[in-house]
Chains A and B, each alone.
Chain A
């Protein structure tokens, strides 16, 4: 196996090109993978932030951002179903926001009851200990340029209602180019013009002694005019909508696959060229008694060494690049396992790329050793 290593390091220029090809592919795959992971996470971020077990939505709502009103009595009816321990409300609508300097901007306004969940960005939950008013409005720090607030608190308008922006939060930045504003349910429904007879999302917690699916079933029977989904089901549906139905996720996924294919071609070409350059040595090896398995192992080892080194270089490059990209794409997200998981396709890519090379090395006639 020393021969495998020596063969590739002996020609450093070619080795560098191969490593560059692999690292480029790994970089692209991890970057695109991070975009996809971030996109998926952002697509259901607010659903996941709630502590509820069940979400009730209007019929046919595909994603959190596209909720439509339901009757307010749904909440009372749901509360009466055995197993439902607590209810809360969330609403969301696009609204017109007027910046302190008078410019207008569309925002996604989200309102929620204080018992929706500790992670949900609601002033009543987040600000109770920090002196915020119950009707305060929050925005994500990454949307500062869009919101155009220079000092807090700032008096602004939302749908022609006066609002007070009091705090920045993190992790809930613009997902679709439209910034989110978060406030209490009461406040949001006032800005949206919702009456008490209306709701958008009713969230339920299930008593510990009850099965979520049983309660879901009972709710479906009791409330046939709405959709009753577990939190995970609604999150999945929302992710599915944004990634598949809008085509955005497919585009990101396609770019990741293209990264893989580009890497495959580059690596395949360089490994093949390397093998063909050493084809006489493979013939010599075979003449000297090397088995086919040994010859294949040498070529494959070379490919895997290139894959491993290229992966490390690619990962070392992509981590700071994603760190920088966060300032431009706040929702980009790299799960730690993605870095490890991407090593496998890159090694698979190199193995795949070496197939043609292995074939050439195996079919070379040992008898050619006598040609001067």
Chain B
């Protein structure tokens, strides 16, 4: 009996039409265990990001089922999938995707607000998170005033606002230097170890293997290899 906490079963996704059609995933069945850090690796165009989009309820498969916290989410409307993202899932992006006009603390506070608009003390909680990530002296800096490593830490703080159980990261260290990248790896690892979060990281970066529990390698839209580390 597979652990259906987070995953896909028989998932196929195609983009484009007729001759231009690209099959990004071909009947992939893959589940990610609760409280583990899993890597999704593979060459460009292998379907890694498509798989992450399915897990993040940003995309629906043409065929197959997507499970989030053990519940199939295929049949949900766009609004219902938005609620699933709001309550359960959080993202970290390669390009950080911080709101350029907001300060670091406002970015994180917005993360809290998006999860629960009625929550009070958002600014205090945002400050605590940023202090925890060593950004206590950068609270009021705008993203363009921060280094790439600092921006990614702000982005992770925003992702953790509201304490979502699932964290999906797309190439989170691709834009960072070695030291900053390692720092991000450690932070995400601590989310698994300290908070029991489920983390899925799409990456080309071999440094991640040191921090992961499991690796899945995709090739041409299919799972080529699974490995527990």
Contact = CB atoms under 8 A, between A and B. Distances in A.
B56 A287 contact: yes
Nearest to B107: A3
B41 interface: no
A134 interface: no
Contact of B111 (A2, A288, A365): A288
A372 B101 contact: no
A367 B97 contact: no
Contacts of A288: 85-86, 90-91, 111, 114, 158
A281 B58 contact: no
Contact of A372 (B53, B59, B95): B95
A31 to B, nearest CB: 35
A333 B93 CA distance: 59
A286 B86 CA distance: 9
B99 A3 contact: yes
Interface residues of B, number: 32
Contact of A2 (B83, B94, B100, B102): B102
Nearest to B86: A289
B49 interface: yes
Contact of B100 (A9, A10, A292, A370): A10
Contact of A3 (B56, B79, B102): B102
B106 A369 contact: no
Contact of B58 (A10, A280, A369): A369
B218 interface: no
Contacts of A6: 99, 101-102, 106
A3 B93 CA distance: 20
B52 interface: yes
B100 A281 contact: yes
B28 interface: no
A164 interface: no
A366 interface: yes
Nearest to B162: A289
Contacts of A372: 94-95, 171, 174
B150 interface: no
Contact of B85 (A9, A281, A289, A294): A289
Given A7-B101, A281-B100, A370-B170, A291 B95 contact: no
B138 interface: no
A3 B101 contact: yes
Contact of A367 (B59, B82, B110, B158): B59
Contacts of A287: 56, 58, 85, 91
Contacts of B83: 289
Contact of B97 (A280, A289, A291): A280
Given A289-B83, A291-B82, A369 B99 contact: no
A15 to B, nearest CB: 11
A281 B93 CA distance: 13
Given A287-B85, A287-B91, A289-B114, A370 B99 contact: no
**Size category of the binding interface on chain A:** 20 to 34
B115 interface: yes
A250 to B, nearest CB: 45
A10 B93 contact: no
Contact of A290 (B90, B93, B114): B114
A369 B101 contact: no
A22 to B, nearest CB: 20
A17 interface: no
Q: Which of A280, A289, A291, A292 has the most CB of B within 10 A?
A: A289
Given A367-B58, A369-B91, A10 B101 contact: yes
Interface centre among B93, B97, B174 (most CB of A within 10 A): B97
Contacts of B52: 370
Contacts of A294: 114
A286 B82 contact: yes
B53 A367 contact: yes
A163 B101 CA distance: 74
A292 B101 CA distance: 21
A111 B28 CA distance: 97
Contacts of A285: 114
Contacts of A366: 58, 85
A3 B111 CA distance: 12
A291 B83 CA distance: 8
Nearest to A367: B58
B95 A281 contact: no
A280 B87 CA distance: 22
A237 interface: no
A284 interface: yes
A370 B102 contact: no
B81 to A, nearest CB: 9
Interface in A248-296: 280-281, 284-292, 294
30 contacts: A3-B101, A6-B101, A6-B102, A10-B100, A284-B93, A284-B99, A287-B58, A287-B85, A287-B91, A288-B90, A288-B111, A288-B158, A289-B86, A289-B89, A290-B86, A291-B82, A292-B82, A294-B114, A365-B58, A367-B53, A367-B59, A369-B58, A369-B91, A370-B52, A370-B58, A370-B93, A370-B170, A372-B94, A372-B95, A372-B171
Top-6 shortest CB links A-B: A289-B86, A10-B101, A6-B101, A367-B58, A289-B85, A284-B97
